[in-house]
């Protein structure tokens, strides 16, 4: 079984595992870790989700067998919960760590803080963080990143100063959290001084993520030339994501000239990501540049890139429900569509205007624009609203980044229903509360 797990043959390993009569904790743990690893390798798609739930299932079986989990079990299942945005399961595991006395373990404590942060439950994360006896650099970093992702910039920066006072040395990832906190709050001077501190005081060389934070900040503030200057200053090739940020910024601030220039630079890299092409297609399409639209489409065919694999998942109790755009395959589809129509209608009366986005098809079809009304996250949110108690937050995971329309719609829905809506897409965490999103509205690139 270990051999199969090592080689990544999870099914064969599972078969042997199912046949073993008396199992040691090590065997249980390696099977859980095996599924968790498959989930990591699968990236952000449906199979990742399934492997994650398989890991949680084995954990449930372990509990039923009467055996006591240890710190390896806890840290693996908590990591799985963070990836799945499975807060309910995470809370149950939290309760168990208290019962079994593992809560005081630093590895388990850190995994808990991380899980709550990734699930968008900042209050619980910060409570778990405060309760830790000893804090490592990783737990500090996780909490700083958590605050910053939720748009709590002041708290993130305060915690960073506390961390320095406590004599803990920050690393590369800590600074990503710090810079992104400054970026979200538009604190240019602070961002630049932390950027300097990182290099001078801590001798940390800036990587792509640090530049992305700074460029994101300038773009949010509409300082596109400053953003572009920073890109030119980087001593390595800017990534697809960096160009995408600049292009999205040019689009929303109406500087198309720079946008087109950035697009040319980006196309020279021969991007590998379908999302990048969709962004470009949207830009050319809204500017009416048909020649460029067909040029980009041709490149996509040459790079053999298909449609966007748009999926959204929501877990309710112990089950996962997945949605594709325009999905009608659910048992309750009729009901879901009816209430979605209703929500769209109510949102419109509050001022919501739906936006069209582009759907990329493999063929040379003329149809370039399609309705965004039934995008996967809209269906998942609606299903979540129907299937959970009135005050429960809605947590959705999405395989690609959100489009502007769904982003806008989610803001209205959080206002209409007075529910928290948390969506983790392929690039960011969005937490919608009372009509506002934690990403400061700059997370929806399409």
By CB under 5 A, the residues from 417 to 436 that bind Zn ion are 430
By CB under 5 A, the residues from 354 to 393 that bind Zn ion are 372, 375
Shortest Cβ 409–Zn ion spacing (Å):
8
Q: CA-CA distances (angstroms) from residue 24 to 11, 21, 68, 105?
A: 20, 10, 10, 22
Out of 187, 406, 413, 422, point to the residue binding Zn ion (CB under 5 A). 406
Q: What is the DSSP string of 161-214?
A: HHHHHTTPPP-HHHHHHHHHHHHHHT-HHHHHHHHHHHHHTS-PPP-HHHHHHH
Three-state SS sequence of 396-437: EEECCCCCHHHHHHHHHHHHHHCCCEEEECCCCEEEEECCEE
Nearer Cβ to Zn ion, position 227 or 439? 439
Nearer Cβ to Zn ion, position 206 or 443? 443
- Contact in structure between 413 and 421 (CB atoms under 8 Å): yes
Binding segment for Zn ion (CB under 5 A), chosen from 15-23, 50-58, 137-145, 406-414, is 406-414
Nearer Cβ to Zn ion, position 177 or 443? 443
Instruction: Quote the tokens at residue 123.
Output: 């209050």
By CB under 5 A, the residues from 104 to 163 that bind Zn ion are none
Binding residue count for Zn ion, defined by CB under 5 A: 8
Instruction: Quote the tokens at residue 150.
Output: 């939720």
Out of 403, 421, 422, 433, point to the residue binding Zn ion (CB under 5 A). 403
Nearer Cβ to Zn ion, position 274 or 372? 372
Shortest Cβ 376–Zn ion spacing (Å):
8
Shortest Cβ 118–Zn ion spacing (Å):
16
The strand pair at 357-358 and 394-398 is best described as: unpaired
Binding segment for Zn ion (CB under 5 A), chosen from 258-266, 301-309, 344-352, 403-411, is 403-411
Binding segment for Zn ion (CB under 5 A), chosen from 72-80, 109-117, 165-173, 399-407, is 399-407
User: What is d(CA 135, CA 106) in angstroms, rounded to the nearest whole number?
Assistant: 7
Nearer Cβ to Zn ion, position 135 or 430? 430
Instruction: Quote the tokens at residue 256.
Output: 């198309």
Give residues in contact with Zn ion (CB under 5 A): 372, 375, 403, 406, 430, 437, 439, 443
């Amino acid at each position: 079984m270990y051999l199969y797990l090592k080689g990544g043959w999870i099914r064969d390993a599972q078969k042997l595992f199912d046949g073993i009569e008396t199992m040691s904790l090590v065997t249980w743990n390696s099977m859980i870790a095996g599924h968790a690893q498959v989930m990591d390798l699968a990236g952000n798609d449906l199979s990742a989700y399934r492997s994650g739930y398989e890991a949680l299932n084995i954990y449930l079986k372990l509990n039923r067998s009467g055996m006591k989990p240890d710190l390896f079990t806890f840290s693996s299942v908590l990591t799985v919960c963070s990836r799945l945005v499975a807060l309910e399961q995470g809370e149950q595991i939290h309760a168990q760590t208290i019962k079994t006395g593992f809560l005081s373990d630093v590895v388990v404590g850190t995994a808990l803080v991380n899980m709550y942060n990734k699930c968008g439950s900042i209050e619980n994360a910060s409570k778990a963080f405060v309760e830790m006896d000893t804090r490592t650099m990783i737990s500090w970093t996780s909490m700083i990143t958590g605050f910053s992702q939720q748009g709590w910039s002041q708290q993130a920066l305060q915690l960073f100063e506390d961390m320095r006072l406590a004599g803990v040395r920050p690393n590369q990832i800590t600074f990503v959290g710090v810079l992104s906190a400054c970026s979200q709050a538009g604190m240019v001077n602070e961002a630049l001084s932390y950027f300097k501190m990182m290099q001078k005081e801590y001798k940390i060389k800036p990587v792509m993520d640090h530049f992305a934070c700074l460029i994101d900040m300038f773009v949010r503030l509409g300082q596109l030339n400053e953003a572009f200057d920073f890109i030119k200053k980087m001593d390595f090739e800017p990534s697809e994501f960096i160009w995408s940020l600049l292009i999205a910024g040019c689009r929303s601030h109406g500087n198309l000239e720079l946008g087109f220039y950035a697009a040319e630079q980006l196309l020279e890299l021969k991007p590998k990501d379908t999302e990048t092409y969709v962004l470009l297609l949207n830009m050319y399409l809204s500017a009416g540049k048909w020649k460029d639209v067909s040029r980009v489409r041709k490149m996509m065919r040459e790079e053999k890139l298909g449609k966007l694999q748009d999926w959204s998942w929501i877990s309710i109790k112990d089950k996962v429900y997945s949605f594709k755009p325009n999905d009608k395959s659910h048992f309750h589809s009729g009901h879901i569509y009816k209430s979605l129509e209703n929500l769209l209608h109510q949102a419109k009366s509050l001022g919501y205007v739906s936006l069209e986005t582009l759907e990329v098809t493999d063929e040379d079809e003329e149809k370039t624009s399609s309705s965004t009304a039934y995008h996967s996250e809209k269906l998942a949110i609606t299903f979540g609203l129907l299937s959970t108690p009135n005050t429960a937050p809605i947590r959705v995971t999405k395989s690609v980044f959100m489009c502007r329309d769904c982003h806008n719609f989610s803001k209205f829905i959080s206002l209409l229903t007075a529910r928290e809506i948390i969506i983790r897409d392929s690039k960011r965490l969005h937490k919608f509360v009372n009509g506002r999103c934690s990403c400061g509205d700059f997370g929806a690139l399409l």
